[in-house]
Structure 1
């Protein structure tokens, strides 16, 4: 199966394709090619989400994220578990920006 031509895809379809491609860019270097190991997840978090997650290089932070995402307890993050992270992070960013935009401007 190949992804549709991005020239004909909508913005949301392109975003979905990018999430799929990003997951598979990191999955499979170690073990199962359809899951992220702890090391693969750490690399993805640092490279792709470092601006939003802050200290993704912290082993404790990576362990916490891995534990929270690994809902089936197999020690790896599958695509569904990865999408839960992206979705939760997107909701948190949306909430932050809504709250930020609702604050009254400071008077000079």
Structure 2
């Protein structure tokens, strides 16, 4: 009797295996661009971009089926993921609008 064989490794690839994985990468990319805008230019636009990216992630987490959510699925409950993404995204958008300009 031979020892049990490990499961085969997935084929190496550079693409996400689910649509949610692709959405996750797009949200991360938009967030990185937002951080770059904050660092180099008008910070309000950068923070707004980060907030909008998180809101898009929240909407798509709600729409995508569980087996396609990929890395957007962080918690067991879709609603917790939705509330966390939408809450932080909405808070960033509100803060970017209501913080007054500092005299410079």
TM-score above 0.5: no
Specify which structure has the bigger relative contact order, considering alpha-carbon pairs within 8 angstroms and separated by 6 or more residues. 2
TM-score between the two structures when normalised by the length of structure 1: 0.32
Q: Which structure is larger by alpha-carbon Rg, 1 or 2?
A: 2
